[in-house]
């Protein structure tokens, strides 16, 4: 497709906001790619890191870049080698674009591919009217899934993957951190049959939402001794599994101590610096397992999120914050910085601020 489009651009290798352009070329697709007319794209913490130009961004991004990776839209063009996608298909996108050649890809682990490319990070993404991506990195949407729900598959998938890695069925589970991904981990844990889900956070409002999305017990870890409370709730044993969404050292350390001996701690949240833990006493002597999850499993987590989303615990309106036109990105940023809960959704084709 020829022509120009609007979009946001990270212009240089330095801290700085994305700049709105109206004359970007529409991406030209390769034979194995599709062109997507973007319906909406959610803002991710990663986008904020890209603006801040932290070490993670410096190691991966070569500006100019169109960021944005949590998206949904309609396929408007397919490359000539693409067999199983067609014009008009509604899709969402997997951020991890695997090489399909390395040992990990060949052994069923493409989400931790050694040579993974990242949509909206190493490749141009979806804060624009159109985006291109390899066809096998798109996920076909059922008719009853809204675009807004669909653009949340990618971020929420990390929460679903966390609950899966914690093997929550029949278990007592602690979810630490009740932002949108934590809320998803909570509703996923309930959907997958956890016996007791305890949620903790520092903000009471977020804990109320956690309760509405399935948490059986909520604890404000800033106002109680979390480890002691967990002991009381579990007959002095500790939880079978804990899922950390915060990435914050004090929270990870507390979660590790909340897990029972021979239990499991799953880390989902990304610490921005090295973390110190008492491995001798909290992990080794107690034979605790500690593991991480990197985004979603391809495509297991996606289909499992459909189950969670259509189940009794998941509440989309609790996970979405506000909606903005793409050109009003700064207002979305202000909302995030002022602590408005939930994901901010950007619409490239809408002129005014909607909600
Ligand atoms: Zn993201
Ligand atoms: Zn690979």
Ligand 2 centroid–CA 100 distance in Å is 5
Q: What pLDDT is stored for residue 186 in this prediction?
A: 98
Q: What pLDDT is stored for residue 229 in this prediction?
A: 98
Tell me which residues are annotated as active site.
46, 49
Which homologous superfamily is 4-151+315-347 in? Medium-chain alcohol dehydrogenases, catalytic domain (3.90.180.10)
pLDDT digits (tens, 9 = 90+) for 262-285: 999 999 999 989 999 999 999 999
pLDDT above 90: residue 228: yes
| Cβ-defined contacts of 210-213 (< 8 Å, 24+) | 210/175, 210/178, 210/182, 210/183, 210/186, 212/315, 212/318, 213/183, 213/186, 213/187, 213/313, 213/314, 213/315, 213/318
Angle of helix 249-258 relative to helix 226-233, nearest 10 degrees, comes to 30
The number of C-alpha atoms within 13 Å of 36 and in the hemisphere containing its C-beta is 33
Pairing verdict, β 90-93 and 138-140: antiparallel
pLDDT above 70: residue 250: yes
pLDDT digits (tens, 9 = 90+) for 20-50: 999 999 999 999 999 999 999 999 999 999 9
Instruction: Give the pLDDT band (50/70/90) at residue 81.
Output: very high
- Please return the burial class of 71, using the count of CB atoms within 10 Å of its CB with bins 0-12, 13-18 and 19+: buried
CB neighbours of 176 closer than 8 A, spacing ≥ 6? 182, 199, 200, 201, 221, 242, 243, 244, 245, 246, 251, 252, 254, 255
The predicted model gives 140-168 an average pLDDT of 96
Tokens standing for residue 336:
């995030």
Domain ranges of the chain: 4-151+315-347, 160-292
Helix and strand totals (H; E) in the chain:
12, 17
Average pLDDT over all residues of the chain: 96
Distance, in Å, from the CA atom of 259 to the CA atom of 253, rounded to the nearest integer, reads 10
Residue-wise DSSP of 96-111 = EE--S-SHHHHTT-GG
pLDDT digits (tens, 9 = 90+) for 291-318: 999 999 999 999 999 999 999 999 999 9
pLDDT above 70: residue 213: yes
Contact 160, 152 (CB under 8 A): no
Q: What pLDDT is stored for residue 107 in this prediction?
A: 97
Instruction: Give the pLDDT band (50/70/90) at residue 102.
Output: very high
Ligand 1 centroid–CA 338 distance in Å is 20
Of 153, 197, 152, 154, which Cα lies nearest the Cα of 178?
197
For 160-292, CATH number? 3.40.50.720
Q: What pLDDT is stored for residue 350 in this prediction?
A: 73
Ligand 2 centroid–CA 229 distance in Å is 43
Q: Which-ligand-closest: CA of 153? A: 1
pLDDT above 60: residue 353: no
Residues with CB under 5 A from ligand 2 (ion): 98-99, 102, 105, 113
Q: What pLDDT is stored for residue 355 in this prediction?
A: 46
Distance, in Å, from the CA atom of 336 to the CA atom of 342, rounded to the nearest integer, reads 9
The predicted model gives 58-62 an average pLDDT of 96
Ligand 2 centroid–CA 109 distance in Å is 8
Q: What pLDDT is stored for residue 352 in this prediction?
A: 54
């Amino acid at each position: 497709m020829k022509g120009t489009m609007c979009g946001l651009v990270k212009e240089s290798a330095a801290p700085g906001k994305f700049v709105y352009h109206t004359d970007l070329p529409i991406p030209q697709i390769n034979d194995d790619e599709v062109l997507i007319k973007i319906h909406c794209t959610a803002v991710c913490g990663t986008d904020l890191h890209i603006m801040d130009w932290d070490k993670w961004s410096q190691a991966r991004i070569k500006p100019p870049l169109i960021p944005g990776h949590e998206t949904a839209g309609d396929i408007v063009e397919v490359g000539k080698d693409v067999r199983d996608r067609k014009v008009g298909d509604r899709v969402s996108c997997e951020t991890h674009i695997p090489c399909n050649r390395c040992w990990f890809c060949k052994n069923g682990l493409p989400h931790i591919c050694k040579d993974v490319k990242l949509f909206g990070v190493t490749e141009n993404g979806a804060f624009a009217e159109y985006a291109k991506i390899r066809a096998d990195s798109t996920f076909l949407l059922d008719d009853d899934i809204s675009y807004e729900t669909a653009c949340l598959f990618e971020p929420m998938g990390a929460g679903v993957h966390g609950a899966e890695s914690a093997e929550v069925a029949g278990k007592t589970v602690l979810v630490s951190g009740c932002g949108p991904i934590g809320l998803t981990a909570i509703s996923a844990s309930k959907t997958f049959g956890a016996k007791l889900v305890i949620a903790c956070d520092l903000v009471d409002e977020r804990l109320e939402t956690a309760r509405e999305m399935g948490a059986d017990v909520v604890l404000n870890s800033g106002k109680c001794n979390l480890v002691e409370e967990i002991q009381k709730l579990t007959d002095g044993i500790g939880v079978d599994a804990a899922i950390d969404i915060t990435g914050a050292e004090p929270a990870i350390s507390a979660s590790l101590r909340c897990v029972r001996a021979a239990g499991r701690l799953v880390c989902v949240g990304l610490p921005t610096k090295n973390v110190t833990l008492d491995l001798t006493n909290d992990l080794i002597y107690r034979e605790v397992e500690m593991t991480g999850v990197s985004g979603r499993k391809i495509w297991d987590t996606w289909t499992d999120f459909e189950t969670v989303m259509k189940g009794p615990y998941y509440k989309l309106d609790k996970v979405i914050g506000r909606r903005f036109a793409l050109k009003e990105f700064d207002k979305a940023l202000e909302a995030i910085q002022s602590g408005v809960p939930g994901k901010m959704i950007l619409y490239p084709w809408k002129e005014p601020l909607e909600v």
